[in-house]
Amino acid sequence: MALSPADLQHLSTRTLADYQAVAEAFRDGTAGHDVSQNIDALLRYLPAEKAVILDFGCGPGRDLSALKARGHSPVGLDGCAAFVAMAREASGCEVWEQNFLGLALPAEHFDGVFANASLFHVPSQELPRVLAELHATLKPGGVLFSSNPRGEGQEGFKGQRYGAFHSIEQWRQVMQAAGFQELEHYYRPAGLPREQQPWLASAWRKG
């Protein structure tokens, strides 16, 4: 059943309110997470120096700081006001407060988009539009990296947060429809049996 504008507003507001309520605990609980494998998967396809990168769903700024430390020019984006403030303070980077369902992005501006644990919050109904907006904000040949908890098409609230959970086949279909060409995909954490790898990571070049 299609989600109405009121439904979309509700799920977005509820999800962001939960992040807002637990912002400090979320920052402290995720500060030590090692996502260098994901950062490497984006950067190996980008210019070696000073790539302009959109950290889509930057949260409290951990990965913004890591991208900046590697010599690149990251810009953060998040819909949670507390995360935006934290990310600005932690990284010293420009950070935009934008709802994923109401983006205002510059055309052909970024070399890369780093969407680590963020795009799964976009309802599948809205995903083609959001991916088209990310496609448009990338420079020709730009690269989008995503990492999402995987599934088989399940969608709805888990606690107070809305999520949509895709298999590689489902994710490949929607990404290709949006004009992206697959570069690679893998499952995380590395080195474990597949049933113990809940994360699907992938890199895609703008076609």
Output the pLDDT for position 15: 98
Output the pLDDT for position 48: 79
Determine the Cα angle at 183 with ends 180 and 187, to 5°. 110
148 has pLDDT over 90: yes
Strands in 110-116's sheet, in edge-to-edge order, are 95-97, 73-78, 52-56, 110-116, 138-149, 199-206, 180-188
Rounded Cα gap, residues 12 and 142, in angstroms: 28
Rounded Cα gap, residues 132 and 179, in angstroms: 8
Q: How many domains does the chain have?
A: 1
Output the pLDDT for position 199: 97
- Domain containing 63: what range? 5-206
Rounded Cα gap, residues 203 and 207, in angstroms: 13
54 has pLDDT over 80: yes
Output the pLDDT for position 100: 98
Span 58-82, average pLDDT:
97
1 has pLDDT over 80: no
| Whole-number percent of the chain with pLDDT over 70 | 100
Output the pLDDT for position 68: 97
In terms of Cα–Cα distance, which of 151, 101, 160, 170 is closest to 130?
101
Q: Grade residue 63 by pLDDT with cuts at 50, 70 and 90.
A: very high
Span 83-110, average pLDDT:
98
With H, G, I as helix, E, B as strand and everything else as coil, classify residue 180.
Answer: strand
Instruction: Provide CB contacts within 8 A for 56, sequence distance 6+.
Output: 77, 100, 113, 114, 115, 118, 119, 134
pLDDT, the chain, mean: 97
In terms of Cα–Cα distance, which of 57, 76, 144, 139 is closest to 106?
139
Q: Grade residue 139 by pLDDT with cuts at 50, 70 and 90.
A: very high
Span 22-44, average pLDDT:
95
Span 174-201, average pLDDT:
96
With H, G, I as helix, E, B as strand and everything else as coil, classify residue 132.
Answer: helix
Span 14-35, average pLDDT:
96
Rounded Cα gap, residues 177 and 169, in angstroms: 12
Output the pLDDT for position 105: 98
| CATH code for the domain in which residue 160 is found | 3.40.50.150
Output the pLDDT for position 47: 85
Longest Cα pair distance anywhere in the chain, in angstroms? 46
